[in-house]
Structure 1
Amino acid sequence: MNIRAKQVGEQMKKELSEIISRKIKDPRIGFVTVTDVEVTGDLQQAKVFISVLGDEKQKEDTLIGLAKAKGFIRSEIGRRIRLRKTPEIIFEFDESIDYGNRIETLLNQIQKDGKTEEQ
């Protein structure tokens, strides 16, 4: 990824957090955190990684709400960031957070099991 794409990604991450939390009034959209934005080198696409507080249904509802608001979100990004063409936005769940939590749980379990064997 080139430097320009990285800069645009960082700027988009900041703006998206603001837009999603303040501008979108869709009740389906829960508590969303934009964890990362990966912009392609040609600045045509932006993969937006999100984490959502809640169960699977809340996560799915949030994704549906964001998909419906995609046009609005993209036009807001276009107004805030001066680019010739605003990247196409793709929302994805950031699995790394769940993965990290799972690893932490497993490590705690191993540690607990180790202590019970020592006694």
Structure 2
Amino acid sequence: MNDRRRQGLEKEISRIVGTTLLTEVKNDKIRRLVSIKETTLSKDGKYVDLFFSILDIDENLNKEKLIEDLNKLKGFFRKAIGSELTIRHTPEVRIHIDNTAEYGVKISSILNQISKKDSE
């Protein structure tokens, strides 16, 4: 599969999964706390890696439970992708959590603490 086709499929799969998250997922926690960040399709088109970002950055949020709930939805996402796209083989879904937003907030709070110490 050429790169241009793969990039187009990645964008379309990202749109499908995002719409499915907002409209069809019944788990309210996932619908409120998770957003699709990146989609990567393998070169042969057999696997799609979905990178989700956690929107609510709480210390008491159980990430393992959230990942487990997302993994339970893999088949649901695959079915949604297969029904919307006209491709020969629907790719197998793999779920990943992207921690860059959480890391950015952590770095920002550290920088704010350092600037407060410098101003004192």
In 1, Cα distance between equivalents of 2:119 and 2:82: 56
| Equivalent residue number for residue 86 of structure 1 | 90
In 1, Cα distance between equivalents of 2:84 and 2:110: 43
| Equivalent residue number for residue 63 of structure 1 | 67
| Equivalent residue number for residue 38 of structure 2 | 36
| Equivalent residue number for residue 106 of structure 1 | 110
Q: What TM-score, normalized to structure 1?
A: 0.82
User: Percent identity between the aligned chains?
Assistant: 26
Task: Tell whether the 8 Å contact from 1:46 to 1:87 is kept in structure 2 after alignment.
Answer: yes
* 2:15 is the counterpart of 1:14: yes
Task: Tell whether the 8 Å contact from 1:49 to 1:93 is kept in structure 2 after alignment.
Answer: yes
In 2, Cα distance between equivalents of 1:109 and 1:2: 44
Tell me how far 1:30 sits from its aligned partner. Answer: 4.6
Q: CA RMSD for the aligned pairs?
A: 2.0
| Equivalent residue number for residue 26 of structure 2 | 25
In 1, Cα distance between equivalents of 2:81 and 2:38: 15
**Number of corresponding residues:** 115
Letter of the structure 2 residue corresponding to residue 25 of structure 1: K
Secondary structure, counterpart of 2:30 in structure 1: coil
Task: Tell whether the 8 Å contact from 1:51 to 1:93 is kept in structure 2 after alignment.
Answer: yes
Q: What TM-score, normalized to structure 2?
A: 0.82
Give ranges in structure 2 of 5+ residues lacking alignment: none
